[in-house]
């Protein structure tokens, strides 16, 4: 009987890449990038409860990505079917034209997909993960499966590094920082701290303590990892020195995460979804 390893499997570049905890930072980078598309950010702002429950939304998004990467075929089909049904019921209003649009328009789905997978890849490699040019292209090609799950025709999705670069170049004239984009970026940079301790945390001023300042450093690194043209749209600088600083920061974060994880018992070093997939495949995390 064949083993169900889902869409990718242990020999894929996808599994190699997504074992990296630093991809959490890649997810944040992708949100800053996605917010520069006026319709995409309008669709999120007008349909999402991210302001009321940002951490819950983050967990749900992470669970979906984890399921696509490591879930069984059935789990992936169920999760993607739910997402497509949800998107099919949503519409938004273009802030520039007043036009009503569907959330599942291919152009919007494609932008979100490319920004996400490119952010994962870029963040991991700039943090120090070694991938050959062939492996980079293979990752993009493997991710066509994820694009198809949300309703995209794979033939319309960039499948190599060169195609992604060309796609961004073609998209740039239509990108801008709208009011909703600026509000989203500000929220991503200074989100509410989870109130683990009830109102006492607010009374004690914990939201201004080290966790908040540490998170600002993480958000600043995510912005620094954006392409220079994207940073300029946010009013920042596209200088090469910013890229160097971001590279040093993300490499330090990856080293810190690796060091912390190595101090934990082995059963806690691998995310549960990945561990379940490795177990089904009969391989270990090395």
The pLDDT assigned to 217 comes to 86
Tell me, yes or no, whether 82 lies in a domain.
yes
Tell me, yes or no, whether 179 lies in a domain.
yes
The pLDDT assigned to 57 comes to 72
Tell me, yes or no, whether 223 lies in a domain.
no
Tell me, yes or no, whether 239 lies in a domain.
no
Tell me, yes or no, whether 33 lies in a domain.
yes
Task: Domain of residue 158: give its range.
Answer: 13-192+257-281
Bridge partners of 21? none
Domain count, the chain: 1
Quick one: 52 exposed, middle or buried, by C-beta within 10 A (0-12, 13-18, 19+)? exposed
Tell me, yes or no, whether 216 lies in a domain.
no
The pLDDT assigned to 207 comes to 43
Tell me, yes or no, whether 81 lies in a domain.
yes
Tell me, yes or no, whether 3 lies in a domain.
no
The pLDDT assigned to 236 comes to 80
Which residue, among 215, 179, 149, has the nearest Cα to 8 in the 3D structure? 149
Average pLDDT by stretches of 10, the chain with 286 residues: 87 96 94 96 84 70 94 96 94 90 96 98 97 98 98 98 98 95 90 52 41 78 95 83 90 92 81 91 84
Cα torsion angle, 43, 46, 49, 51, sign = positive
Bridge partners of 44? none
């Amino acid at each position: 009987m064949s083993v169900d390893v889902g869409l990718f499997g242990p020999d894929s570049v996808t599994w190699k890449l997504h074992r990296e905890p630093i991809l959490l930072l890649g997810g944040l980078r992708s949100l800053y990038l996605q917010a520069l598309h006026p319709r995409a950010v309008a669709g999120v702002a007008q349909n999402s409860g991210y302001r009321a429950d940002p951490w819950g939304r983050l967990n749900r998004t992470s669970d979906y990505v984890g399921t696509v990467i490591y879930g069984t075929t059935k789990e992936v089909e169920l999760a993607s079917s739910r997402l497509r049904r949800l998107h099919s019921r949503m519409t938004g209003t273009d802030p520039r034209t007043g036009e009503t649009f569907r959330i599942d328009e291919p152009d919007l789905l494609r932008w979100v997909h490319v920004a996400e997978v490119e952010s994962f890849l870029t963040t991991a490699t700039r943090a120090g993960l070694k991938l050959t040019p062939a492996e980079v292209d293979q990752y993009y090609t493997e991710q066509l499966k994820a694009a198809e799950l949300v309703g995209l025709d794979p033939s319309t999705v960039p499948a190599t590094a060169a195609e992604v670069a060309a796609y961004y170049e073609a998209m740039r004239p239509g990108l801008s920082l709208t009011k909703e984009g600026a509000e989203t970026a500000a929220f991503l940079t200074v989100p509410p701290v989870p109130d683990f301790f009830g109102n006492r945390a607010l009374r004690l001023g914990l939201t201004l303590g080290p966790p908040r300042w540490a998170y600002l450093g993480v958000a600043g690194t995510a912005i620094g990892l954006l392409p220079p043209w994207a940073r300029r749209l946010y009013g920042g600088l596209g200088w090469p020195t910013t890229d160097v600083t971001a590279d040093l920061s993300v490499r330090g974060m990856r080293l810190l995460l690796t060091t912390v994880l190595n101090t934990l018992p082995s059963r806690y070093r691998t995310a549960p979804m990945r561990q379940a997939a490795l177990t089904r495949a009969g391989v270990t995390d090395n």
